[in-house]
Amino acid sequence: MTEYVSTTPGLYPLPDWAKDDLSDLKGHQKHDLVSGDEGEEITAAYEEAREEVIGVQQDAGLDRIVEGQLRWDDMLAHPLAVADAVETRGIVRYYDNNNFYREPVVTDDLEPTGDIASELEATVERVGSDDLQAVLPGPYSLYDLATDEYYGDDGDFLAAIAAFLEAEVDAFPAHETLFLLEPSLVENPPADGEDARASEAIDRVANATDADVVVQPYWGALEEKVYAHLLDADIDAVGFDFVANQDDNLYNIQEYGTTDDVALGLADGQNTLVEDPEAIRDRTEWVEGQLGVTEFETVYLTTNTETFYLPYGKYVAKLEVLAEAADLAEVKAA
């Protein structure tokens, strides 16, 4: 019987009080953003905000709890932005959004920081390993967001990013699930040859953990070849952004099959319109019906994208809807 797991890809909006407090404590300019060695007051504000978003997830009844990635000023580029071998330079556009991050330029040999492991350590104290979900940029997306001034070769650079993420994951506390967010696989798809390397890089990071690994591309569907290569990686689930594109995602699944578990991005992480839980449940059934295959072992129900795009109240409402939709789906399946 299929297990329905409500979760999110993390990267939450800060609670409004934390937006104000941290603006005052940190400032508004480029050099004011998180560097990995924040002082006591800033750390305390983030800890309080983290507690709050953990509570929001628990109150909503989500099956997996994320840390919230509230410190990730540079969004998916964060793991590099706090690394020693990286210079953060100008502000550049974050995909096609009205959002910006500091361009991370790799100027030396990448070494893991333990920055994300320590966020997860703080979370696991409150959550427990069985519910904990870690979140990272997938290696291809991190490679795509970064600039290389050290490795000199695209293949070497991608491999170095994969090794860097692998070492970060090594330091994580035990966790149930790892989400690797891979929007660049859609937005800037790898070319011939590079698609196989991207898959190998994902494989490497996925093998660093015993947890279930979900690779979530978004803002559309993967190109056929990219999708086929992704299935070669040793991962437990592929995520599908059904908000942005239904037809091509269905086509990929029907044409190439998919993993035993899947993640369905059915709630819109970038729109304030709050879906009905019943509608999410119905869309889940619709996807399953379209495939007409043997049932999935696990279906993760999630927003398609990160949720920092939303006002805080709407983000909370989206989480509640996902939790309720998963409950409804379980009932129906039973």
Partner 1 sequence: MSTNENKDQFRQPDHEHDHFLLTTVVGSYPKPKWLNRAKDLYEDEDSDFDEDNWQEAKDDAARLITDEHERAGLDVVVDGEMRRNEMVEFFAHRIEGYEFNGPVKVWGHNYFDKPSVVSEVEYDESWLVDEYEFTADASDRPVKVPITGPYTLANWSFNEAYEDDDELTLELADLVNEEIEKLVDAGARYIQIDEPALATTPDDHAIVGEALEHIVADIPDDVRIGLHVCYGDYSRIYPEILEFPVDEFDLELANGDYDQLDVFKDPAFSKDLALGVCDAHVAEVESVERIEENIKKGLEVVPPEQLVISPDCGVKLLPRDVAYGKMANMVQAARNVEADLDAGEIDIERGAPTPADD
Give the interface with partner 1 as residue ranges (CB under 8 A): 13-14, 16, 19, 22-23, 26-30, 32-33, 73, 91, 93-94, 96, 98-101, 270-273, 308-314
Burial group, residue 317, by CB count within 10 angstroms (0-12, 13-18, 19+): middle
Instruction: Choose between 94 and 251: whose C-beta lies nearer to partner 1.
Output: 94
Through-space distance between the first and last CA atoms of the chain, rounded to whole angstroms: 8
Beta strand 100-106 pairing with 86-93 = antiparallel
Question: How far apart are CB 271 and partner 1 at their closest, in Å?
Answer: 5
The Cα 201–Cα 81 span in angstroms is: 20
Instruction: Choose between 96 and 192: whose C-beta lies nearer to partner 1.
Output: 96
Token pair of 218 as six digits: 């978004």
Instruction: Choose between 11 and 213: whose C-beta lies nearer to partner 1.
Output: 11
Map residue 56 onto helix, strand or coil. Answer: helix
Question: How far apart are CB 35 and partner 1 at their closest, in Å?
Answer: 12
Instruction: Choose between 56 and 206: whose C-beta lies nearer to partner 1.
Output: 56
Torsion of CA 151, 156, 158, 160, to 10 degrees: -70
Question: How far apart are CB 28 and partner 1 at their closest, in Å?
Answer: 6
Residues 282, 284, 290, 293, CA torsion sign = negative
Instruction: Choose between 70 and 169: whose C-beta lies nearer to partner 1.
Output: 70
Question: How far apart are CB 297 and partner 1 at their closest, in Å?
Answer: 35
Q: At what angle do helices 247-256 and 277-291 cross, to 10 degrees?
A: 40
Question: How far apart are CB 13 and partner 1 at their closest, in Å?
Answer: 7
Instruction: Choose between 36 and 173: whose C-beta lies nearer to partner 1.
Output: 36
DSSP state of 120: H
Instruction: Choose between 77 and 116: whose C-beta lies nearer to partner 1.
Output: 77
Question: How far apart are CB 316 and partner 1 at their closest, in Å?
Answer: 11
One-character DSSP codes across 210-279: SSEEEEE--SS---HHHHHHHTTS--SEEEEETTT-SHHHHHHHHHH---SEEEEEEE-TT--PPPPHHH
Question: How far apart are CB 314 and partner 1 at their closest, in Å?
Answer: 6
